[in-house]
Amino acid sequence: MNEAPTSALLSVAVDAPLVAPLSYSAPDGDASAFKRGHLVRVPLGRRKVEGVVLGPTEATGAFSVKSIDSLVSEFPQIPEPTLSWLEWLSRYYLYPLGQTLALCYPPLKSRGRGSRKSSPIPEATAEVRVSLTEEQQQVLASIRAHPGFSAHLLHGVTGSGKTEVYLNLIADTLAAGKRAVVLVPEISLTPQLLRRFSNRFPGQLAVLHSHLTDREKTEQWWSMIDGSRKILVGARSALFCPLADLGLIIIDEEHEPSFKQDEMLKYHARDAAVMLAKSHNCPIVLGSATPSLETWHNVSLNKYHLHTMSRRVADRQLPTIEVVDMRSERDQRRLAGTASNLPFWLSQVLYEQLSACFARSEQAALFLNRRGIAQSVFCPSCGTSYECPNCSISLTLHGKNHLVCHYCDYHERLNETCRECGSLDVGPLGLGTELVEQDMVRLFPSLRVARADRDEIQSRLDLEQMITSMEKREVDLLVGTQMIAKGLDFAGLTLVGLVMADVGFNLPDFRAAERSFQLLTQVGGRAGRHSEAPGRVIVQTYNPAHVSIVYSLQNDFVGFATEELNMRRSLNYPPVMRLACLRIIGNHEARTQQAAEALGRRCSLLQQQKQPYQPLQILGPAPAPIAKLRGKFRYQLLIKSPDHARLAALCRQALGDEKWLPSGVKVLVDIDPMNLL
C-alpha cells in the first residue's frame, strides 16, 4: 500500500462501534470531490462499510492508509447544522459517531415507488376553522416575539387547545419558506392527530414511526428531503431526518418517558431536539399539561420561556375529581358481614357512577396500568410464586391458565396443582385489565366493552379500529393501560375511573411520584373534553395522602413540582444534579458481579486521584432492581455530578478500552437515564 500525501487524507466516521473516526486517502489523491457530510463507502478490515466524511485531516506520522472506495451519490450531503448536532449527540451520550450518523439515512438504500395498500397519512377533508381563544392568541404573540433560537414551554391544561397553537406556528414557518418537525409519543400517532394536521395542511404532511414498512419509511423520508412535503410528524426517530431549512420544532407531551431511547444510542429526543433547534437557530416549543421536572427546572433558570393556558377551549370545565379510599371500602364490606356482588377492586361509588353514565348513553373508561388477569400466581401452602426463568419477574396470568412474562415473552401453562407441593390452593394474586373487563361484562351483560392494552392492541390497525369504534359510539366502556391516557379525544367520554392509582407509587425509581402525578392528571384529562357539564374522575386508592394524588386532586402542578424539586435537591437527584447509569450485563452471574465490582473500583480510584471528580457521588455497584432480564444478569452503578462534562469524562476514563472486561460481559452507559429498573 502506498503512503498517501497528507493533503489528500480525509477523516471518515464509519458505521462501526469505533470511538474515533478513521483516516482515508482520496482516490487519485483528489480530496476536492469529497465534502464534509458526504456519505462514502470505505474498506474496513476485509469488508466495506459506509461512513460520513468529516473533513480533511493531517497525518501525525508516517503510516499507510486505505483509499475511499466511492462516493454514495444517491444521498445528499448532511447539512452542516445537522452534522454539528450529530457530533454533539455522539459526545454527549458517549456513543460511536459513525453509528450515530447512520441514523440519518432511511432503511432502504434505493429509492423506488413500492406498492402500498394504504397511505400512512389519512386523506384530507375540509377543515372547520375555529376562533382562537384569548389565551391562544397571547401565547402565539409571545412565541412570535422571539425569532431565532428560543425554547418555549407551553403549559396548558388538558383540552386547552395546545394543538391549535402548534398549527398556527407551523403556518408561520411554512410562510417563511421553512419546514417544521413535530414529535409526539409513538402511541399518540393516531389517525385523530394525523387527520387534524393533514386537514389543515393538505399534501404537506410526511409521517415517520415504527409501524411503517421500510418502503413507507424510505418514501416518507425522501418526501421531506426533496422538498415535496413541508411538515414531518413522527416519533422520536423522526428527529434524525437531515433537513436543511428547519424552521420550527414542536415536542408534544414533552414529559413522556417514551421520548428516551433505551437501546443503542440512549438519547432523549426532547433534550436532543433543543440542541438541534439551537444548531438550526430556530424556535422549539415543548407542550404538556404535566411538564417534566427537567423542563420546569429550566424554566426556573430562565433558560426556557413559560406560556400558560389554564382554561379549556370554550371555557369547558375541568373534570370533577373524587378520591375513594379503598381501605374504608374494604372495612365497610367486612362490617356488613355479607358478600358483596361487586368485585374486590370496584367501589360502590365508581359502580354507581358507571351505572348512571351508561344509563345516559355516555361513554366511560377504566384505567389500570397492569395487563392480564393477575400480576402473579402464588401457592399459600408452600409459598411458591411462579416466576420467569429468564427474568427476575413474576409471571402474569392471562385467561384461566396462561402464564406470560411481559419482558421476554416466556410462556407457561398453569396446572391445577402446585408444581412444588401438589396443593390445589394455587391461585392468582393482584389485578389486571383482563379481569376488569370480565367483571364489567358480568355486572353489565349488555355492555359493549373494548380493551386497550398490549395484548389486545398489537398493531397500528388494532389501535385505529379501537379509536374508530369509540368515535362511532360502538363502545360503551374502554378498559385500558397507559395507552388510553395519551392524546386520545372522544366526544362521548364523560367518566374516567382509575381502578388502582397506587400501581406506580412504590417503584424503586426516584421519578415514581412524578410519573404517577402525570399519569393521574393525563388520564383524568380524557373526561368531559366536549361536554358542557364537567366530566367526572373517580380515583380509587389505598393511599389517598400520596403526594401525587393530593396535588392532582387540586390540579396543582406548580405545588407538586415545588415539593418534588425540593426533595430531589435534598437527595442530589436530577434535574438538580446530572446522572449516569452504568449497566453491567453478562451471561454468568459471578463474572458479571466481578466486572461490576471492578468498575466500581476504577471509578473510586479516579475520584480519589483527580480533584475535579471529588464532588461526584458514586452509588454502587449493586444488582439492578430487575436483577435478571432475558437471561442476562444485571448490575448497575450510578454516578451523580454537578455538570455533564465531569460526568462524561469520568465514564470515559473508567471504561477505558474495555479490554479489562471479562468475556461475556459488557457495560452500557446511559446518560440522563429515565429507567432505573
**Cα–Cα nearest to 648, from 585, 597, 579:** 579
pTM above 0.85, yes or no: yes
What is the DSSP-derived secondary structure letter of residue 407? T
The 3-state DSSP class for residue 387 equals: strand
The 3-state DSSP class for residue 557 equals: helix
- pLDDT for 374 equals 61
Q: Look-up: residue for cell 486521584?
A: 609
**DSSP of 576-596:** TSEEEEEEEEESSHHHHHHHH
- pLDDT for 113 equals 53
Residue 356, CA distances (Å) to 25, 351, 361, 366, 389 in order: 77, 9, 9, 15, 46
Q: Give the separation between CA 232 and CA 223, rounded to whole angstroms.
A: 9
Quick check: 247 and 221 in contact, CB under 8 A?
Answer: no
The amino acid at residue 585 is I
| Rg of the chain, C-alpha, whole Å | 27
- pLDDT for 49 equals 95
- pLDDT for 533 equals 74
Task: Set out the domains of the chain in order of their start, with CATH numbers.
Answer: 6-78 (no CATH), 134-313 (3.40.50.300), 320-370+432-568 (3.40.50.300), 372-430 (no CATH), 578-671 (3.30.70.600)
Q: Extract the C-alpha cell encoding 143.
A: 412565541
Quick check: 111 and 220 in contact, CB under 8 A?
Answer: no
**Cα–Cα nearest to 457, from 237, 122, 190:** 190
Helix segments in 176-307, DSSP class H: 191-200, 214-225, 269-280, 293-300
Quick check: 512 and 675 in contact, CB under 8 A?
Answer: no
The 3-state DSSP class for residue 617 equals: strand
**Mean pLDDT, 10 residues at a time, the chain of 677 residues:** 57 93 86 92 93 86 81 94 97 96 91 58 73 92 95 90 94 96 84 86 92 91 94 95 96 93 94 98 95 96 95 77 88 75 90 94 88 70 78 79 82 80 74 88 92 76 83 90 72 87 77 88 72 82 89 89 93 94 94 94 92 92 91 94 95 89 93 90
402-404 vs 578-586, strand pairing mode: unpaired
- pLDDT for 317 equals 76
Q: Give the separation between CA 190 and CA 182, rounded to whole angstroms.
A: 14
How many beta carbons lie within 10 A of that of residue 514, not counting itself? 24
**Whats the size of the chain, residue-wise?**
677
**Cα–Cα nearest to 393, from 627, 636, 584:** 627
The arrangement of strands across the sheet holding 449-452 comes to 320-325, 536-541, 493-498, 363-367, 477-480, 449-452
Burial class (CB within 10 angstroms; exposed 0-12, middle 13-18, buried 19+) of 33: exposed
Q: Extract the C-alpha cell encoding 145.
A: 416575539
- pLDDT for 115 equals 43
The amino acid at residue 664 is G
Q: Extract the C-alpha cell encoding 292.
A: 417534566
- pLDDT for 336 equals 75
The amino acid at residue 129 is R
Give Cβ neighbours of residue 198 (< 8 Å, ≥ 6 apart): 121, 122, 123, 124, 205
Q: Extract the C-alpha cell encoding 480.
A: 385500558
Q: Give the separation between CA 442 and CA 103, rounded to whole angstroms.
A: 50
Quick check: 644 and 633 in contact, CB under 8 A?
Answer: no
